[in-house]
Structure formats: structure tokens, C-alpha cells
């Protein structure tokens, strides 16, 4: 099977599995913890780390590194050293988890933002919904395809990298739908965008249209923005109460 056909087959199989049997809450929690730990081993810039026995081995793809352009952004920011860091150290057994049902955008963040800045919550919510629901119901040359499962996997994987868990989502879907090169691309775009290269962009979903891959970028950026807002707004809520 081609990359596209294989992906569509996995999407179909996931849908059938959902109809036959749903995973328990305990199993879904275990799958989230596994995916969260594995996300720490996904290194941007074409590096992938695998846990082997009791040590970690790193494999570097030089073809990616050769294209990375060193950009001096210090003149644009007050703190040049400020940037993304993994939310936990490798090897830790208990990584911090932000449980989405305890503080969600829809039930908590939206109303707080509107209190702090009138109507901005409506604008942000419209932006999030528009990007998340955007679809032509196509996958490359295939039409009338429901891409909801794939879009949710992309969005939730970004939140997973930020330690945010949705109790009603089976994170086993992430590993089935997002291949390794795509995970590297996702982490690079959302955490270290200045390292993104065309070679990385070309390395995943080769049969897809550019418009579909641009939609992926939009999903990643909105997911990151919402994750950052959730952490900030939760902190403000705790301070106010």
C-alpha cells in the first residue's frame, strides 16, 4: 500500500474498532502516559531518540541539519534564551499532567478571557473552531473522506506534548495515524519553528496536496496557542481565587 492508502486503511480500522469495543478509562490513561513519555524522545531538526535497555541512543539525520539556518532573533526579543523546553526530564516516572476536564477552553478559559478583554474570547473561539473544523472532505485524490479522526489526532498530539490530557480520547490513535517523520515535523513546527525546513515539510504525506499540508500547519499553531492559553488562564484563575 502507498502511504496514503495505508493511512486511510488505518483510519477505517480505527472507526470499526470504536464501534466494536471502546477502551476502558484505565487503558486510555495508560496510553496517554505512554504517548506523553514518547513525545519527549521526539527531537526537532530530524533527530529521533529511542530508549534502548537502560540508556538512550540518539540518531541524527544530517540531511535535515544541513538545511537548518541559524537565525539571530536576539534583537527582536528581551530574553534570547527564552524558548520551549520539554515539560519533564527524560527518565522521570511521573510527568505532570494537565487534565483538560478540570480546566477547558470552552468552560473556563473562554469566559475568563472575555472578562479580562471584552469580546476577545469570541474572536479566539471562532478562530479555533474555524481551523479545527476546516475540511474539503478530501485526502489527496480521494473525495468524500471524513478527516475528523485525523484532525483530532494532530490537535491532541500537540496538547499531549504540552502535558494536556483529554479523558475521552484514546491516545492509541496518535501512534496509528501519525508516522515518525510527521511527529518530528509537528514538534519542530510547534516548539522550534525557526528550525523547520522544506525537506522536513516534504518528508511526510508526499501524496497530499499543499493546501492539505498547510492546513496541518494551521492546526498545529492553533493547538499550541490554545495549550499556552490554558496554562496561562488557569494560573490567572488560581491567582484570582
Range of the domain at 149: 3-55+84-240
- Give the whole-angstrom CA distance, residue 32 versus residue 163: 9
pLDDT for residue 64 is more than 80: no
Position 91 scores a pLDDT of 58
Q: Is 67 a domain residue?
A: no
- Give the whole-angstrom CA distance, residue 99 versus residue 159: 11
DSSP-derived secondary structure letter, 105: I
In 3-state terms, what secondary structure has residue 187? helix
pTM: 0.82
pLDDT for residue 234 is more than 80: yes
Q: Which three cell numbers stand for residue 194?
A: 525557526
Q: What are phi and psi of 75, to 5 degrees?
A: -75, -10
160 Cβ neighbours under 8 A, 6+ residues apart: 32, 35, 36, 39, 171, 174
Given a contact cutoff of 8 angstroms between Cβ atoms, the answer to whether 57 and 204 are in contact is no
pLDDT tens digits for range 137-157: 999 999 999 999 999 999 999
Rounded to the nearest 10 degrees, the angle between the axes of helix 148-161 and helix 25-40 is 60
Q: Is 79 a domain residue?
A: no
pLDDT tens digits for range 151-193: 999 999 999 999 999 999 999 999 999 998 899 999 999 988 8
Total number of residues shown for the chain: 241
Q: Is 208 a domain residue?
A: yes
Q: Which of 97-101, 125-129, 155-159 has the lowest mean pLDDT?
A: 97-101
How many domains does the structure of the chain reveal? 1
- Give the whole-angstrom CA distance, residue 170 versus residue 225: 22
Q: Is 219 a domain residue?
A: yes
Q: Is 77 a domain residue?
A: no
Q: H/E element holding 143?
A: strand 142-143
In 3-state terms, what secondary structure has residue 22? coil
Strand order in the sheet with 42-43: 42-43, 47-52, 55-60
Amino acid at each position: 500500500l502507498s502511504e496514503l492508502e495505508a493511512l486511510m486503511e488505518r483510519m477505517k480500522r480505527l472507526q470499526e474498532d470504536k464501534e466494536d469495543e471502546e477502551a476502558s478509562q484505565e487503558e486510555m490513561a495508560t496510553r496517554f502516559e505512554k504517548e506523553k513519555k514518547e513525545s519527549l524522545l521526539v527531537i526537532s531538526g530530524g533527530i529521533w531518540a529511542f530508549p534502548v535497555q537502560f540508556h538512550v541512543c540518539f540518531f541524527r539525520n544530517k540531511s535535515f541539519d544541513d538545511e537548518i539556518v541559524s537565525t539571530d532573533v536576539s534583537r527582536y526579543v528581551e530574553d534570547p534564551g527564552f524558548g520551549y523546553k520539554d515539560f519533564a526530564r527524560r527518565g522521570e516516572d511521573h510527568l505532570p499532567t494537565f487534565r483538560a476536564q478540570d480546566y477547558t477552553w470552552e468552560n473556563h478559559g473562554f469566559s475568563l478571557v472575555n472578562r479580562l478583554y471584552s469580546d476577545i474570547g469570541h474572536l479566539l473561539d471562532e478562530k479555533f473552531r474555524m481551523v479545527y473544523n476546516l475540511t474539503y472532505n478530501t485526502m489527496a485524490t480521494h473525495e468524500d473522506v471524513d478527516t475528523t479522526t485525523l484532525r483530532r489526532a494532530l490537535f491532541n498530539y500537540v496538547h499531549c506534548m504540552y502535558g494536556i490530557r483529554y479523558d475521552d480520547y484514546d491516545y492509541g490513535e496518535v501512534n496509528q495515524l501519525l508516522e515518525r517523520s510527521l511527529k518530528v515535523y509537528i514538534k519542530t513546527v510547534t516548539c522550534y519553528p525557526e528550525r523547520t525546513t522544506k525537506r522536513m515539510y516534504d518528508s511526510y504525506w508526499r501524496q497530499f496536496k499543499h493546501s492539505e499540508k498547510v492546513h496541518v500547519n494551521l492546526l498545529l499553531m492553533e493547538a499550541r496557542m490554545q495549550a499556552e492559553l490554558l496554562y496561562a488562564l488557569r494560573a490567572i484563575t488560581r491567582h484570582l481565587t
